[in-house]
Structure 1
Amino acid sequence: MNAPAELPAALSPQWPPQAPPAPEHTDIAIIGSGFAGLGMAIQLRERGEHDFLVFEKAGSVGGTWRDNHYPGCACDVQSHLYSFSFAPNPDWSRMFSTQPEIRAYLEDCTDRFGLRPHLRLHHELRHAAWDESAQLWRLQMADGKVVRARVLVSGMGGLSRPSYPDIPGLDTFEGECFHSQHWNHAYALRGKRVAVIGTGASAIQFVPQIAPQVAHLDLYQRTPPWIMPKPDREVSAAERWLFRRLPFTQTLVRTGIYWMLESRVLGFVLHPKIMKVVERVARRHLARQVRDPALRATLTPDYTIGCKRVLISNDYYPALTRDNVDVVTAGIARVERDAVVLRDGTRRPADCIILGTGFHATDPLLRGVIAGIGGVDLVDAWRDGAQAYLGTTVSGFPNLFFVVGPNTGLGHSSMVFMIESQVAYIADALRQMRRDGVQAVDVREPVQRRFNERLQARLGHAIWSAGGCASWYIDPRSGRNTTLWPGFTWQFRRATASFRMTDYDLYPVRRAVPDEATRQPAADIASAAGA
């Protein structure tokens, strides 16, 4: 049989050659779908904006409350305050909600405020670059898709990238090994010898959950945390009924919690000596729960309470008193295929290693993710530590807005309050830009510099700097606290109450570039949607 003749090029499956897909356009691109990203999207919807998209690398919303699902995962701020003020949930089951309940709340908000059409799931941002000629952000996703946006809002958060310890031989371990953020629920811990590295906020929640299951647990502690009693309880059916029928009662509870937590600033920032009173409460909590004087001494910090993150738990200390739990402080020299070897030469067998080693707080972004004017990488702009103006805008990066940016973290209250403040500030910026015919804004470098000089001056006297510890709040390169807001949250809300154009260099609206000529203006889109 003769071989079939070749098909003409025009009939070949590869003909004509496939052109790359045209870039997608949106006026506002939001990265991330946790409290920050969803809060921004809801604010836009409520203000009649419809030309925006929310890009999420995962297959569902939730941010940190989707990614962290280890046993015992819960919030350490009361639920009535750790939620949107405009979307109260009268059905919280506990004062401090667990991860599944918070994640369900965020899913509910997504539906309640009609955000599903704006979501782009499985869209991981690989690179965002400011196009100076077009005055737009060009975003490239992991799958090669290109999106152009006038405004870029980062809702990626500061605690989203796990930190892995630099321990020799960790990659040679033949047992199970995972970070608490990537908990392997398929791995059965019952009867196993487990090594937990780290004693931070995650570890104090999951250690009590797994200690009764395992054959033996070694907890590798470098620095003990201060731990306060957790005033948690179930919310009664009667309370939930009252919150549903008389919503103002829940508002009163939220307000009371808010001002109670705000009072902590007196000790953290204004009068650090007050923390000695708080420290006595923590010492009594430790003494009541740990009777063994040697173990109690091991678990007693040598720095002022508040210097590191203050943790709350009622079951962590009791878990450490179990016969099958050892607190190990000798320091790790290396990991072998089936054991952890200490600096004193002791070899401690392990079937599983769980890393409770936290996140990259002072260095949240990788190089190559965001590039501003002149192609400057944000990592290089932050080579001496992350900084921004009002934690929201960075000089040299026009129309880039951060929610939960540098120095917006809290050691005393709810981040959702800070998120709502930033979101309102960004929304006001967009409103004024549209009103005044401004295409782009770029915070002036002197404005950003003066703001951060004042900020660092206040932080220099706070407990986080003067408490005698080394914490993840402090950038190791500069020694500056690049994480926390040094004051009351109402002061931050007042500072972000309105967007001041005089703080920014302004770029007027220009005629559309040729490949944008057919794009429908955002105002027309809003009108068509019935806004």
Structure 2
Amino acid sequence: MANPNMERKLRCTIIGAGVSGILMAYKLQKHLSEYVDFWIYEKSPELGGTWYENRYPGCACDVPSHVYQYSFAPNPEWSQYYASSAEIQQYLKTVVHHFNLEKFIHYNSPITHASWDPSRAVWTVLVENHGAVDSELLINASGILNHPQMPDIRGLSTFQGPLLHTASWDPAIRLENKRVAVIGAGASAIQLLPKIQPICAQVDVYIRTPSWISPPVALQHDGTDTNKNKNNNKNPCYSKDDITRFRTDTQQYLSTRKQMESQFNDKFRAFMKKTPEQRALRAQFEDRMKQLLPDPYLQSKLIPSFEVGCRRINPGEEYLVALQKPNVHPVFDRIQQIGPEGVTVQRNSDEHHRPVDILIAATGFNTTFRPRFPIVGAGGANLQDLWSGEPTAYMGLAVAGFSNYL
């Protein structure tokens, strides 16, 4: 029954239909539909956020699938321990369909400006294809993994071949039998290389800073068939029996999910400086990487000197295997410049040129919390300016001078 004392509902604008925006829509519909009208503006033609935009070969989540999901929408159907970006996006589409959230989403609707009007106590948001939209509440769920960071290398713009970034992948560009250069050695490069190595004539991988590579994680006592291949360097797949058991035995499925979460939570002390747990985890990772890298030179270049946890850990042992294939050349020399036909590196006092057909920047994102568009609060303060350095917010949510903005 509607509240007879309420003149009208509050209005809420949500920016972004990724994981966070979908969650907010679900919560508002479930708990506050009597009090709040809301809508989502999504800049892309599909929902999913980073799981729509990142489509490069091998793109996957580095958190186990059965942990990387909404608690209110458990999915026993995950096909692999680490789900692909496509499978995660499909899961999000399924959630939106199941809870009838599609009607709230406006696609191809990027935000260009948002401003707070204290005289009316409303936010006015300028939306491409929609004009000005007013609401009392503004929820920014646009995320930070959606703005590709191109490498700052002299001559990059002079390269005459295709230039790709893992975060804006063009599937129309074919890599078969091509000479390819991959710049970067973080998560996206670690996932990409094993997928493109078999089809490329040559792959040069330019590595500045190595990453800790973890073994595939499979629960030792979860009763699933993933344990049968937990010691190889693959992403374990769930068998039909596993999926059927998860689907039919909800208590076992809940127990498995809790066990996965506990496995990660129990490693908290391994990320504390100079603890026995950290020393043990580092020894485990280092021993395993040495097994996969018998060449002492590669060990010296690819096993980090910093502690485990200083950078994100990557479950990508296939990457280490791919680096040792005959058509792959790990390059540790500094890139001097990029020319029309390839890459020039500085090795001691000499320059060496490597011809390349296709350049791939696996250089991640601009992860600053600075908004991509002006957000103007009380007194004309622009959050772009206030957060040009370090972002500051109460409890990570509320910003002084920006009423009703989260």
Does the alignment reach a TM-score above 0.5?
A: yes
Structure-2 separation of matches of 1:281 and 1:270: 16
Match of 1:346 among 352, 355, 364: 352
Partner of 2:220: none
Partner of 2:362: 356
* 2:247 counterpart letter in structure 1: R
Match of 1:89 among 63, 72, 75: 75
Taking structure 1 as reference, are residues 393 and 272 closer, same or farther at Cα in structure 2, changes over 3 Å only? farther
Structure-1 separation of matches of 2:130 and 2:46: 20
Asked if the contact 1:33/1:61 (under 8 Å) is kept, the reply is: yes
Asked if the contact 1:221/1:327 (under 8 Å) is kept, the reply is: yes
Partner of 1:105: 91
Q: What is the identity percentage for the equivalent residue pairs of Structure 1 and Structure 2? A: 35
Structure-2 separation of matches of 1:26 and 1:65: 31
Partner of 1:410: none
Count of aligned pairs? 376
**C-alpha displacement at 1:62, in angstroms?**
0.6
The answer as to 2:253 corresponding to 1:250 is yes
Structure-1 separation of matches of 2:86 and 2:359: 25
**C-alpha displacement at 1:239, in angstroms?**
2.2
Give per-residue Cα distances to partners, 1:92-141, cap 9 Å, x unaligned: 11121111111110000111111111111111011111111111111001
Structure-1 separation of matches of 2:10 and 2:102: 16
Partner of 2:223: none
Structure-2 separation of matches of 1:241 and 1:191: 41
TM-score w.r.t. length of structure 2: 0.89
Asked if the contact 2:165/2:361 (under 8 Å) is kept, the reply is: yes
Give per-residue Cα distances to partners, 1:212-236, cap 9 Å, x unaligned: 1111111011101011112242222
**C-alpha displacement at 1:270, in angstroms?**
7.2
SS at structure 2 position matched to 1:36: helix
The answer as to 2:271 corresponding to 1:285 is no
SS at structure 2 position matched to 1:287: helix
Moved over 6 A (4+): none
Asked if the contact 1:159/1:364 (under 8 Å) is kept, the reply is: no
Match of 1:397 among 380, 402, 405: 402
Partner of 2:325: 322
Mark the runs of 5 or more structure 1 residues left unpaired by the alignment.
Answer: 1-24, 402-531
* 2:302 counterpart letter in structure 1: L
Partner of 2:229: none
Structure-2 separation of matches of 1:296 and 1:309: 19
SS at structure 2 position matched to 1:189: coil
Partner of 2:305: 302
**C-alpha displacement at 1:166, in angstroms?**
1.0
Q: Which runs of structure 2 are paired with 1:345-494 in the superposition (5 Å)? A: 345-366=351-372, 368-401=373-406
SS at structure 1 position matched to 2:133: strand
Structure-1 separation of matches of 2:92 and 2:369: 26
Structure-2 separation of matches of 1:146 and 1:245: 49
Partner of 1:45: 29
Asked if the contact 2:370/2:387 (under 8 Å) is kept, the reply is: no
**C-alpha displacement at 1:371, in angstroms?**
1.4
Partner of 1:445: none
Q: Which has the larger radius of gyration?
A: 1
* 1:330 counterpart letter in structure 2: D
Structure-2 separation of matches of 1:382 and 1:272: 35
Q: Which runs of structure 2 are paired with 1:15-164 in the superposition (5 Å)? A: 27-49=11-33, 51-143=37-129, 145-164=131-150
* 1:67 counterpart letter in structure 2: E
SS at structure 2 position matched to 1:71: coil
Asked if the contact 1:68/1:181 (under 8 Å) is kept, the reply is: yes
Taking structure 1 as reference, are residues 234 and 346 closer, same or farther at Cα in structure 2, changes over 3 Å only? same
TM-score w.r.t. length of structure 1: 0.69
Taking structure 1 as reference, are residues 340 and 26 closer, same or farther at Cα in structure 2, changes over 3 Å only? farther
* 1:191 counterpart letter in structure 2: N
Structure-2 separation of matches of 1:29 and 1:216: 48
Structure-2 separation of matches of 1:80 and 1:374: 46
Structure-1 separation of matches of 2:288 and 2:274: 23
Give per-residue Cα distances to partners, 1:183-219, cap 9 Å, x unaligned: 1211111111111000111110011100111111110
Match of 1:191 among 144, 162, 177: 177
Taking structure 1 as reference, are residues 331 and 363 closer, same or farther at Cα in structure 2, changes over 3 Å only? farther
Structure-2 separation of matches of 1:262 and 1:91: 24
Partner of 1:274: 277
Asked if the contact 2:272/2:278 (under 8 Å) is kept, the reply is: no
**C-alpha displacement at 1:144, in angstroms?**
6.1
Asked if the contact 1:26/1:148 (under 8 Å) is kept, the reply is: no
